[in-house]
């Protein structure tokens, strides 16, 4: 599904990713953990095609396509989805209208017929039910005046609608209280499927209590320095990152 090889990327001439390797298979959930400044968000942004990052070496293929050649919108249409750490406000843009435009952009890309308002509303209602969300967010402008929890729920709702093949969750747990975290995690879990892979970027173990990963990777100083099963996350929770960094340095 996703194959990252020797990826190096710079921001303002400063190298952040220093030769990163990562393989994600279909249906797998991978957690990327690491201390502040290790390059977690950079990885998420480079994969989704944000401007301002220069890839200096390495390759990224997604279902056999060279991802780095594509515009962000094309990556999205191919099935990549980034749940933002800080979802962006779009004043005056109705949330439902935004979601319909996004879904139809994707359908157009794949040569499918666009959904009309009625079919779209029906689809939206189904998805709301699956995620146990109410429709109060849908009538408001995108993320404007949303609480932290509402913003993250809205991201997960978008994900449910757009049905990505690979979802990248960038610090989705940040700024959430425990109840909101549970709601978001339940949403993510309900979207797990053998066709859908997930890359869960997080700082803390606690999200992984709710979203159980198949693999855990430790990202530090621009590289993945250790990989393991979900027990690695627990070990990190107890011991912190220091010992791994020391081992890696040794």
> Of 109 and 243, which CB lies nearer to other proteins in the complex structure?
109
Between residue 140 and residue 169, which ones bind other proteins under the rule CB under 8 A? 141, 158, 162
SS3 of residue 212 by DSSP: coil
For the beta carbon of residue 246, count every other beta carbon within 10 angstroms. 9
CB of 238 to other proteins, least distance (A): 35
Distance CA 187, CA 31 (A): 17
- Stretch in the footprint of other proteins (CB under 8 A) among 1-9, 48-56, 125-133, 183-191: 48-56
Length of the chain: 250
Sheet containing 215-220, strands listed edge to edge, beginning at the edge strand earlier in sequence: 80-83, 166-170, 197-202, 29-33, 215-220, 223-228
- Stretch in the footprint of other proteins (CB under 8 A) among 53-61, 65-73, 193-201, 230-238: 65-73
243 binds other proteins (CB under 8 A): no
CA distances from 43 to 3, 10, 35, 199 (A): 13, 11, 14, 10
Distance CA 250, CA 246 (A): 6
Q: Which residue is it, tokens 């989805």?
A: 81
CB of 162 to other proteins, least distance (A): 7
- Stretch in the footprint of other proteins (CB under 8 A) among 21-29, 42-50, 123-131, 204-212: 42-50
42 binds other proteins (CB under 8 A): no
Distance CA 212, CA 210 (A): 6
> Of 48 and 197, which CB lies nearer to other proteins in the complex structure?
48
Indicate which single residue of 57, 101, 117, 130 sits in contact with other proteins (rule: CB under 8 A): 101
> By the criterion CB under 8 A, which residues form the site for other proteins?
48-52, 71-73, 75-77, 81-82, 84, 87-93, 98, 101-103, 105-106, 109, 141, 158, 162
């Amino acid at each position: 599904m996703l194959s990252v090889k020797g990826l190096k990327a710079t921001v303002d001439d400063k190298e952040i990713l220093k030769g990163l390797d990562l393989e994600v298979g279909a249906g797998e959930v991978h957690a990327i953990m690491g201390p502040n400044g290790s390059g977690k968000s950079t990885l998420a942004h480079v994969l989704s095609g944000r401007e301002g990052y220069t890839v200096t070496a390495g390759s990224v293929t997604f279902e056999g396509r060279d991802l780095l050649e594509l515009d962000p919108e094309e990556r999205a249409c191919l099935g990549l989805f980034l749940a933002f750490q800080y979802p962006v406000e779009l004043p005056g843009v109705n949330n439902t209208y935004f979601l319909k435009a996004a879904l139809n952009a994707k359908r157009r890309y794949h040569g499918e017929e666009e959904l009309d308002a009625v079919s779209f509303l029906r689809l939206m209602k189904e998805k709301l039910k699956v995620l146990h969300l109410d429709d109060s967010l849908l009538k408001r402008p995108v993320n404007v005046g949303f609480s932290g929890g509402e913003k993250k729920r809205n991201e997960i709702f978008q994900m449910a609608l757009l049905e990505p093949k690979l979802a990248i969750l960038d610090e989705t747990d940040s700024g959430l209280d425990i109840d909101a975290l549970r709601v978001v995690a339940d949403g993510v879990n309900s979207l797990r499927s053998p066709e859908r892979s997930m890359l869960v970027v997080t700082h803390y173990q606690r999200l992984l209590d709710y979203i159980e990963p198949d693999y855990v990777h430790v990202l530090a100083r621009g590289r993945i320095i250790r990989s393991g099963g979900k027990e690695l996350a627990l070990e990190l929770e107890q011991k912190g990152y220091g010992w791994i960094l020391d081992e890696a340095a040794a």
